[in-house]
Amino acid sequence: MANIKLVLEYEGTNYYGWQIQPNVPTIEGELQNALARILKQRVIITGAARTDRGVHAKGQVVSFKLSLSFPVFQLIPALNSVLSPDIRVKRASQVKNAFHARHSARYKIYRYVICNNFVLHPWLRNFSWWVPFPLNCKLMQDAASYLIGRRDFSSFENKGSPFMSPVRCVQKIKIKKQGSLITVSIKADAFLYKMARNIAGTLVEVGRGRFSPLDVRNFLLTKDRRKAGPTAPPQGLFLWRVGYDRDIFDKNSW
């Protein structure tokens, strides 16, 4: 039985997130239906991350077991021919049997996009958070430095989280401004429920001058979600990349 790894990108605007839900379109549901149509069998897929409604992905990773012989390189054009245009398979590989899209991940990178302009560019309305107030990116970066390391991120975790422990290791946060666009890139070993959006919302409050960088440090210490900033809207968030060890590949990579 072959273990297959796919890398996807998608626009999440028209979907109720990654995970299958009854009677509504989801990314996982669309992909499972497409695989069943191509392979003539039902397969169970696992995603590296469960993106929320309206959240996008540039590097979502999926794994599944395949019992029949199917050329891996043909999965890309076959799936893309039946999937909606807002979902695309970028890469397909056969990997070692022990590989698991979620459990084998070493890190994830989320990128949050802010349109920091007096007028919202119409082509960015589904792909950014419109913040028409000046933002101080240096203060945002200073505040982000307090979030680096292995920390208890209870103050940045929304209710309804399925995780037992609120401890995560944030390896890097980078604030970058290009023209009217500001991006907040966060690399961590894993993320809590809405953690990336809560960090982005809090850093925007710092950029506006409502919080100081030291306030962010104190939010961590209180372990109280009510103290930190708002949850940033979903359309600005992208699952950018999921990282794995280099020895996962078996053969027939494409």
User: Which residues are designated catalytic?
Assistant: 52
Query: What residues have CB less than 8 Å from 214, skipping those under 6 apart?
Result: 146
In whole angstroms, give the CA distance from residue 144 to residue 141: 5
Helix-then-strand count for the chain, H and E: 5, 11
Among 92, 78, 4, which Cα is nearest to 37's? Answer: 78
Count how many Cα atoms sit within 13 Å of the Cα of residue 49 in the half-sphere of its side chain.
34
Sequence-distant (6+) residues with CB within 8 A of 147 are: 153, 170, 173, 199, 216, 220
- The partner residues of 239 in beta bridges, in order of sequence, read 57, 110
Backbone angles phi, psi at 115, to 5 degrees: -90, 100
What separation in angstroms does the CA of 183 have from each of 103, 132, 173, 177?
27, 15, 10, 6
Nearest to 89 by CA among 6, 30, 13, 33: 6
- A 10 A CB-CB count for 244 gives 18
Task: Name the CA dihedral angle for 37, 39, 40, 46, rounded to a multiple of 10 degrees.
Answer: -80
